[in-house]
Amino acid sequence: MGTVQYIAKIFVLLALITVMVFGGLMWFDYLGVIELKKQLAPVYRLVGLQPQTGITASADNPFTADLDDDRLAKRLEALNVRDEELSKREADISAQEALNEQVARELEERRVSQDEKERTFEGERNKYNERSANVEQNARNLTGMAPQNAVNIMLAMDDQNVIDILRKTEEIAKAENASSMVAYWLSLMPAERAATIQRKMLERPAAQN
């Protein structure tokens, strides 16, 4: 009798385990966690249940979400946000490049302008140095001539050239600690021309063109 009871208990436990296993499988399949609809369809019909056949919401399952559509929508939204960020970044980069190009053009224009000014200044300085050298050479040449011959040459010049030569002659004489010919040359010139030259020398004491 004890053996029969023991076997009966084992049978009951096995039956209970079987029911629990099938019940768990049916529940997970019903929730859509696992896919056993075809295998468990007879059992569903036996107990009067309608298995979960998809993840799309329906009248029988009003709280079921369409997970695929939701994920797709989120991905599309993320892509749109990313596209907007890239578009904004591209616009910012384009604007910065345009600004850099404008600054580069302005710097280049300033450089060209500065180069032109330096060339102009260099040209003017060369002209001045060349004229100054010519004036000095003329002053030395005239100083070495007979006074009347030197005066005759200066009388053929315009007033400013005569003034420059006279000033350079004074400068050379002072530097070499020698006597200047300027006063004597002026005395040999016609009085009116000599007066005009001296007046201009007083009016523009530093003029040397």
pTM: 0.43
Note the pLDDT of residue 90. Answer: 87
Q: How far apart are CA 38 and CA 35, in angstroms?
A: 8
The pLDDT tens digits along the chain (209 residues) read: 567 777 877 887 887 887 787 667 666 666 666 665 565 566 556 655 555 554 444 444 444 445 667 778 888 888 888 888 888 888 889 888 888 988 888 888 888 888 888 887 777 777 777 888 889 999 999 999 999 999 999 999 999 999 999 999 999 999 999 888 999 999 999 999 999 999 998 887 654 44
Note the pLDDT of residue 153. Answer: 94
Q: How far apart are CA 144 and CA 157, in angstroms?
A: 18
List the alpha helices (DSSP H) in 145-190: 147-155, 159-175, 182-188
